[in-house]
Structure 1
Amino acid sequence: MRELFGTDGIRGVYNQDLTEDLAYKVGLTIGSMHPDGKFLIVRDTRESGLALEKAIASGLVKSGATVYLGGILPTPAAALITKMKNWFGVVISASHNPYYYNGIKLMKSGFKLADEEEIEIEKRLEVKDHSFSKHDTGKIIDFSEAEKIYIETISNMFSDVDFHGISVVVDTSNGAAYRTTPMVLEKLGIKVTCYYNQPDGKNINDNCGSLYPQYLAQKISGFDLGVLHDGDADRCILLSKKGGEINGDKIMGILALSMKREKRLKNNLVVATIMSNFGLEIFLKENQIDMIRTKVGDRYVLEQMLKSDANIGGERSGHIIFLDRSTTGDGLITALEFLRVMVLSQRDSSELEKQVNDLPQYMVNVEVKNKAIVDHPHLKEKVSQLQKNGFRIVVRASGTEPVIRVMAEGQDESKIKAAVEEIADLVRTLGEFQRR
């Protein structure tokens, strides 16, 4: 079982859970596992990113690896380039978390490492002697052209559509896409206005980005679409021209139907997670499209997509994978796919947004010291009891934070809120009992 790695790499508070010493050891370990390997390192805009980059690069060089420094770039840019060049990738980012968090995501040829590979890395990190190295050391190469490669590749993907006349407002969350997203959109002829694109090392995800759409909603007037990223830009939430939120579930439904009409939807299938709204499932069923649910986490969505040979899958959070475009979620690709549907269907974003209806859904995050509470028999009994009232309830431990997420959905909003609060209170009580 993995302990250091969560559902999206290693993540924690900088200089507490994630230190430069640990980063160095990770670099040394993965470098020693892949002698003479080539590694691309990119990072988001957090103030700790440069120090962690130097630490990881030092470990890799010590092991004999060649390190390519790509600078500040979205996670999907690393996936695209490492697939293109058959390299390993290291992404220094904590995604949607506050600036004082950071993380290390590892990938190979465009895909995140499998659970088994992360377990092997953890085993090697437990070895106290990390002084091993090759007789010949590696080298560090500036690879600033990585940004140009990403911009040109994504632009070329959508060059067959005329986007001229469309105006978009973008919130880059002061994160990794603060340059790339507006540059690609403008290159395709879209008129772009940007907010939250002035990173200072501490303002990443600070009341902006995909977790805070209410701020961009105040500025949507006069624009055809709003685009909101998280810190590393692998996800995207949209706003209609009237300010309506178009979450990941709605995006998947709208785009899956369009893909089906174009005969592009593989196996007539969408892969979603246990947290996706039942409204999406109803919409897909009404349009004769199948849906498979999997565990939360893009790695599990991708795993199921590969197993089922599906080419669209994702999460309500806006992390959506188009396997005929990329090997991972890319918020920019998601936005462009939606804009493409707007152009081809000649329908505006508000019309499209109304296609997929959400059932009332309510979620609470409960901070805990021990996430094993999620398997407590009293908790399972309470969930089973409340589900008899016709609710769909999901209680799960977060893979990236010390919290248990409690979610319910159903027809009556007040009743599902009451059910969630009842379960959340029990989680808190069980947590207090364990601390005694």
Structure 2
Amino acid sequence: MKIFGSSGTRGVAGEELTPEFVLRVAKAAATVWDADRVALARDTRTTGAMFADAAATGIASAGVDVDRLGVVPTPAAVRYCEAAAVPGVLVTASHNPPEYNGVKLVGADGVELPVDRLERVEETLLAETFADAAWDEVGDTTHVHDANADYVEEMLASVDREAIAAAGLTVALDPGHGAGALTSPGFFRELGCEVVTVNAQPDGHFPGRDPEPVEGNLDDLGRLVRAADADVGIAHDGDADRAIFFDERGDYVEGDASLAALAARGLSAGDTTVAAVNVSQRLVDVCEEAGATLELTPIGSTNIITRIRELWAAGESVPVAGEGNGGVFFPDHRLVRDGAFTGAKFLELLAERGRPVSDVVSPYGGYYNVRLNVEYGDQAELDALLEAAESYAAAADARPTTIDGHRLDYGDAWVLVRPSGTEPKVRIYAEARDRNRAERLAENVREALDAAR
């Protein structure tokens, strides 16, 4: 697909992503869906209202009514689509920097569109075979005001509220000025937790930190955990479909470690879990111990969702899945990454164990992760970088995996190099039990790519 990457289509607002383009994407989707109504939602980005207006125009011009949800987390929008049995257009760039925005498409079953459906939308867009409504058949607009409240109520009914409340937990929460600022503080308070917050004002300029919940952006949350003597810290990205944790000492918890802890609790013998090709050895170890099967996909929620649906069709049980970036699926609840729900499931785990976060995740420590980015300017430069990555992989004394880019397994460590699906970057991931080993593996790849310029 040229337009839709691993998680929709994204770009810098006003450059790669324009109102005209968003209008055409929404109009193409409305044409393909053959639906009477389409839900439309956005996150807090400063360009969100503009792009949502453009999307609404495209949908209405195809003769389809628009349910405008306003600013909601992605999982809240997905819940609405499933409950109302309508497809959806989500204007969000998730974890990308503030200047980015994007479009994600969701089916009437409340699941992101699979690759084949996205390709149909893309074909319609490129061929400009849009549905064009007559002047008296254009779509109407309805403003929906309860999507966030309904989302929170459903989550409260889907977790062990009594056990969490009985644990008497203090939660330090950082919604990162994103859509989760409208839902997560109230949700965790309704669970019986004492909640203290930072960056909890919805603001598309993201003044407190960038939207991506990586360690370098979360110093304020670590300080808040220590100042408030909180039991756990929870951070979201811009559309609140991720949850990253801090322990009771205010120390960052690797997303791969929290995913492994949640998977160990949720997986049984005969189950299957799905993760991306940058999967940590932590999850591999959990699956081996539980007697569960691990399936790998290219990076991105679209690919994981597609594989989960295929496994369901084959009668497989997939109770938990996800990536080490904080994007976790609990498919039996809903097939969407959900930061607040993931946070609640982690609180269930703390309540069940009666132990601090540091103890709960300690079995999944001992690995060091490094992530580097190599930026490029144009397609020719990207091609040169990818050619260098292929040559490096061919010469390496390691077991290769080419599901998405080049993953090289050395037995005691691994490194992965692949182009980002949302930004002009080639990403390098490495993991090892020795920090210097992980850093050297990543640096060796970066040096090979830099030499190709």
Residue 324 of structure 1 is matched in structure 2 by: 332
Q: Which residue of 1 aligns with 2:111?
A: 111
Matched-pair contact (CA < 8 Å) for 1:248–1:320: no
Map 1:167-206; keep pairs closer than 5 Å.
167-203=170-206, 206=209
Inter-partner Cα distance in structure 1 for 2:439 and 2:307: 31
In structure 2, give the amino acid aligned to 1:323.
Answer: P
Q: Check if 1:21 corresponds to 2:24.
A: no
Q: Is the 8 A contact 1:280 1:358 kept in 2?
A: no
- For 1:420 and 1:37, locate their aligned partners in 2 and report how far apart those are by CA, in whole Å: 50
- In 2: Cα distance, 1:23 partner to 1:110 partner: 21
1:230 aligned counterpart, secondary structure: coil
CA contact (8 A) 2:182 2:202 kept: no
* Contact 1:374–1:395 under 8 Å retained in 2: no
User: Secondary structure of 2:192's partner?
Assistant: coil
Give, in angstroms, the shift of residue 209 of structure 1: 5.5
**2:121 corresponding residue in structure 1:** 121
Q: Secondary structure at the match of 2:9?
A: strand
Question: Which of 405, 410, 421 is the aligned partner of 2:427?
Answer: 405
Asked if 1:157 is matched to 2:179, the reply is no
C-alpha distance in structure 2 between counterparts of 1:137 and 1:16, whole Å = 29
Q: Is the 8 A contact 2:97 2:211 kept in 1?
A: no
Partners of 2:177 and 2:238 within 8 A in 1? yes
CA distance, structure 1, for counterparts of residue 55 and residue 159 of structure 2: 35
Taking a change above 3 Å as real, the CA distance of residues 286 and 233 of structure 1, as seen in their structure-2 partners, is: same
Deviation, 1:331, is 0.5
Structure 1 partner of 2:360: 352
With over 3 angstroms needed to count, the CA separation of the structure-2 counterparts of 1:232 and 1:66, relative to structure 1, is same
| SS of residue paired to 1:409 | strand
1: CA distance, partners of 2:425 / 2:144: 38
Q: 1:171: how far off?
A: 0.3
Q: CA deviation at 1:296?
A: 0.9
The alpha-carbon deviation at position 374 of structure 1 amounts to 5.5
Q: Partner of 2:251 in structure 1?
A: 244
The answer on whether the counterparts of 2:263 and 2:283 sit within 8 Å (CA) in structure 1 is no
- In the alignment, residue 78 of structure 2 is paired with which amino acid? A
Q: CA deviation at 1:161?
A: 2.9
Paired with 1:418 and 1:322, the residues of 2 have a C-alpha distance of 35
Structure 1 residue 181: Cα displacement: 0.4
* Deviation for aligned residue 1:194: 1.1
SS in 2 for 1:117: helix
Is 1:133 the equivalent of 2:133?
A: yes
Per the alignment, do residues 149 and 58 of structure 1 end up closer, same or farther by CA in structure 2, a change over 3 Å counting?
A: same
Question: 28-37 or 362-371: which moved more?
Answer: 28-37
Q: C-alpha separation between the residues in 1 aligned to 2:240 and 2:18?
A: 24
| Matching residue's letter, 1:158 | V
Q: Of residues 207, 217, 241 in structure 1, which corresponds to 2:222?
A: 217
Aligned residue for 2:141, secondary structure, equals strand
Aligned to 1:428: 450
SS of 2:429's equivalent? strand
Judged with a 3 Å threshold, the aligned counterparts in structure 2 of structure 1 residues 28 and 357 are, in CA distance, closer, same or farther, namely same
What is the TM-score with the length of structure 2 in the denominator? 0.88
- How far apart, CA to CA, are the structure 2 residues paired with 1:189 and 1:32? 45
Letter in 2 for 1:406: I
How far apart, CA to CA, are the structure 2 residues paired with 1:33 and 1:43? 21
Query: 1: CA distance between counterparts of 2:53 and 2:257?
Result: 40
Comparing 126-135 with 12-21, which one deviates more in the overlay? 126-135
The 1:139–1:298 alpha-carbon spacing in structure 2 relative to 1, beyond 3 Å, is same
The one-letter code sitting in structure 1 at the alignment partner of 2:196 is: T
Question: Of 417, 423, 435, which aligns to 1:395?
Answer: 417
* Runs of 4+ with >6 A deviation: none
Is contact 1:48-1:102 (8 Å) kept?
A: yes
1:85 partner amino acid: A
Q: TM-score, structure 1 length as denominator? A: 0.91
Find the counterpart in structure 1 of residue 262 from structure 2. Answer: 255
Tell me if the contact between 2:198 and 2:224 (Cα under 8 Å) persists in the aligned partners.
Answer: no
Query: CA contact under 8 A between 2:45 and 2:98: conserved in structure 1?
Result: yes
AA partner of residue 243 (structure 1):
G
**Cα offsets for 1:53-111 (capped at 9, x unmatched):** 11110111111111111111111111111112211111111011111100000011211
Q: Which letter maps to 2:3? A: L
Q: Which residue is equivalent to 2:144?
A: 143
User: Is residue 302–residue 313 contact of structure 1 (8 Å, CA) maintained in 2?
Assistant: no
Q: Secondary structure at the match of 1:244?
A: coil
3-state SS in 1 of match to 2:259: helix
Q: Deviations over 1:319-353 (max 9, x none)?
A: 00001111110011100001011112222212102
Cα contact 1:111–1:328 (8 A) shared by 2: yes
Distance 1:187 1:174, change over 3 A: same
Alignment-derived partner of residue 98 in structure 1: 97
Question: 1:47 Cα deviation (Å)?
Answer: 0.7
Q: In the TM superposition, what is the alpha-carbon distance from 1:12 to its structure 2 partner?
A: 0.3
**Paired residue secondary structure (1:417):** helix
CA contact (8 A) 1:277 1:358 kept: no
1:246-288 residue CA offsets vs partner (Å, 9 max, x unmatched): 333222221222224xxxx483332222212213322442444
Q: How far apart, in 2, do the equivalents of 1:4 and 1:271 lie?
A: 25
Is 2:389 aligned against 1:383?
Answer: no
Structure 1 counterpart SS, 2:303: helix
Show the counterpart of 1:312.
320
Please state if 1:280 is matched with 2:283: yes
Q: How many Å separate the matches in 2 of 1:153 and 1:352?
A: 27
Structure 1 portions without partners, runs of 5+: none
Distance 1:118 1:303, change over 3 A: closer
1:338 aligns with 2:346: yes
What CA distance in whole angstroms lies between the structure 2 residues aligned with 1:289 and 1:414? 31
Distance of 1:176 and 1:53 partners within structure 2 = 15
Task: State which of 220, 223, 240 in structure 2 corresponds to 1:233.
Answer: 240
